[in-house]
Amino acid sequence: MLKGKLEFNGEFLAKLFKAQTPPLIGVDITSSSIKMVELGGAKEQMRLERYAIEPLPKDAVVDGNIMNLEAVGEGVRRAWKRMNSRIKNLALALPSAQVITKKITVPAGLREDELETQVETEANQYIPFALEEVNLDFQILGSAPSAGDDVEVLIAASRKEKVEDRVAVAEFGGLKAIVMDIDSFASQTAFELMQVQLPEEGRDQVIALVDVGASMMNINVLRNSQSVYMREQPFGGNQLTQEIQRHFNLSAEEAEAAKRNGGLPDSYELEVLQPFLDTLALEITRALQFFYSSTQYNQVNHVFLSGGCATLPGLDQVVAKRTEVNTLVANPFASMQVSPKIKQRQLAQDAPALVVACGLAMRRFDA
């Protein structure tokens, strides 16, 4: 997403954040699994070539932090082998919580060295770390809303070790990280493929992207492709797994497998699943209330559900009823050509969990 060329940290940064990208695989590292997506074709007509989802051991990734580099690196290697791809270049993402972003306004027409100096000066004000400890990048967004001759620039900074952990994971798997994005930006990129489903393609509408993973729920509210609000809440599919575990006296592994593959008693839907769906819908409703109370907006027109929980049966209807907002399950591949090797039924089940990986894979089409 970021395409500046600040090199406060030498060539390392320039290799990760670059405008021109060769064919690559999008890799989303979450607390529960590695998701990989490879796209082909052209920007105007993309094609899903292959994808893979590889489970991770418990606590290998916690709150976006890689705690067991070897286990995650091995997971990346297994996912790549399952993909059966020859591409070794990866686009990865940092969790939004690990990245400090700030929009600044600068005069238009600055030379690159002048812009870099301006960005460095601004970064010193907003980043609570020494610049030597961070990877820093910027992207010119366009004319500033205040009109005049100013332009708006987005600055992004993350602690060096957070970036280096993901680079090391790729290298452990015999692969190479060439792009480092931010997960919320990657989901926004993938949303470009889904907004065609909306009336007038979502123009001048407020759209909430709600990603519900294993341990965290991320809300990113967009208007005309610009993020106007973000929030992270500690709630996810792990709560459902734990409830299955408790209710049916299963181990954590048995509960997770039963949640994914079925085979639970008839009482599961009424006594366990439905209460979880109600609680999740309530969490989303609360998040939207926070959005209304802290911004100028008082309405959301559409909600897109993504992440591993998005395909839980009936979740979209429960959320729509509770929030009184049109709710859709995210599928960035709905209008895309798909390789005949991919099973359509399985893809429909997996697609909501592949939104970030898809957005990262789209980086190969950067101009």
List pLDDT tens digits, range 63-109: 889 999 999 999 999 999 999 999 999 999 999 888 888 888 888 88
Predicted pLDDT of residue 7:
34
CA angle 164, 169, 170 (to 5 degrees): 100
The first and second tokens of residue 21, run together, are 């990208």
Do the domain assignments include residue 76? no
| Residues 214-269: tens digit of each pLDDT | 889 999 999 998 889 999 989 999 999 999 999 999 988 888 888 888 888 989 99
Residue 10 has pLDDT above 50, yes or no: no
Distance (Å, rounded) from C-alpha 121 to C-alpha 119?
5
Residue 106: what pLDDT?
84
What's the rounded Cα separation, in Å, for the pair 357 and 154?
22
Question: Beta-carbon neighbour count of residue 40 at 10 Å?
Answer: 16
The Cα-based distances of 90 to 33, 85, 86, 87, 205 in angstroms read 16, 12, 12, 8, 33
How far apart are the C-alpha atoms of 232 and 158, rounded to whole Å?
18
Query: Does a structural domain hold residue 199?
Result: yes
pLDDT at 111 (0 to 100): 85
* pLDDT confidence of residue 21: 61
Predicted pLDDT at 363 = 92
Range of the domain at 201: 195-332
- Looking only at the bridges linking them, the beta strands covering 302-306 and 326-329 are parallel
Residue 307 counted as domain residue: yes
pLDDT number for residue 163: 92
- Round to whole Å and give the CA distance between 175 and 330: 29
Residue 7 lies in a domain: no
Instruction: Compute the half-sphere exposure of residue 130: CA atoms within 13 Å on the CB side of its CA.
Output: 3
Confidence at residue 15, expressed as pLDDT on a 0 to 100 scale: 42
| Spatial contact of 280 and 320, defined as CB atoms under 8 Å apart | no
102 DSSP 8-state letter? E
**Count of structural domains within the chain:** 1
d(CA 274, CA 313): 10
**283 pLDDT higher than 90:** yes
The strand pair at 226-233 and 150-159 is best described as unpaired
pLDDT at site 267 = 92
Cα(first)–Cα(last) distance of the chain, in Å? 11
Report whether pLDDT(162) > 60. Answer: yes
34 part of a folded domain: no
What is the structure's pLDDT at 17? 47
Give the per-residue pLDDT at 367. 61
The dihedrals phi and psi of 203, each to the nearest 5 degrees, come to -60, 135
* Residue 135 belongs to a domain: no
Per-residue pLDDT tens for 311-350? 899 999 999 999 999 999 999 999 999 999 999 999 999 9
Among 319, 316, 354, smallest CA distance to 333 is for 354
Per-residue pLDDT of 198-214, as tens digits, reads: 999 999 999 999 999 98
pLDDT above 80: residue 3: no
pLDDT at residue 72, rounded to an integer: 96
Residue 185 lies in a domain: no
Are 103 and 153 within 8 A, CB to CB?
yes
List 302's β-bridge partners, or say none: 207, 326
Q: Is the pLDDT of residue 6 over 60?
A: no
What SS3 state is found at 239?
Answer: helix
Instruction: Please tell me the distance from the alpha carbon of residue 278 to that of residue 309, in angstroms, as a whole number.
Output: 13
Looking at residue 18, its pLDDT comes to 47
Give burial (CB, 10 Å; 0-12/13-18/19+) of 160: middle
Q: Which of 57-66, 182-191, 251-260 has the lowest mean pLDDT?
A: 251-260
Asked whether the predicted pLDDT for residue 4 surpasses 70, the reply is no
89-94/176-182 β-pairing: parallel
Please indicate whether residue 145 or residue 24 has the higher confidence score (pLDDT).
Answer: 24
Backbone angles phi, psi at 53, to 5 degrees: -125, 120
> Using CA atoms, how far apart are residues 163 and 93, in angstroms rounded to an integer?
9
Percent of the chain with pLDDT over 90: 63
Query: What is the domain-level CATH number for residue 293?
Result: 3.30.420.40
pLDDT tens digits, residue range 97-154? Answer: 888 888 888 888 888 888 888 888 888 888 887 878 888 888 887 777 766 778 888 8
pTM of the predicted model, to two decimals?
A: 0.89
Among 75, 68, 70, 64, which Cα is nearest to 36's? 75
CB 210 within 8 A of CB 218: yes
Residue 32, in any domain of the structure: no
Looking only at the bridges linking them, the beta strands covering 25-29 and 176-182 are unpaired
**How many Cα atoms within 13 Å fall on the side-chain side of residue 327?**
21
Cα 119 from Cα 8, distance rounded (Å): 11
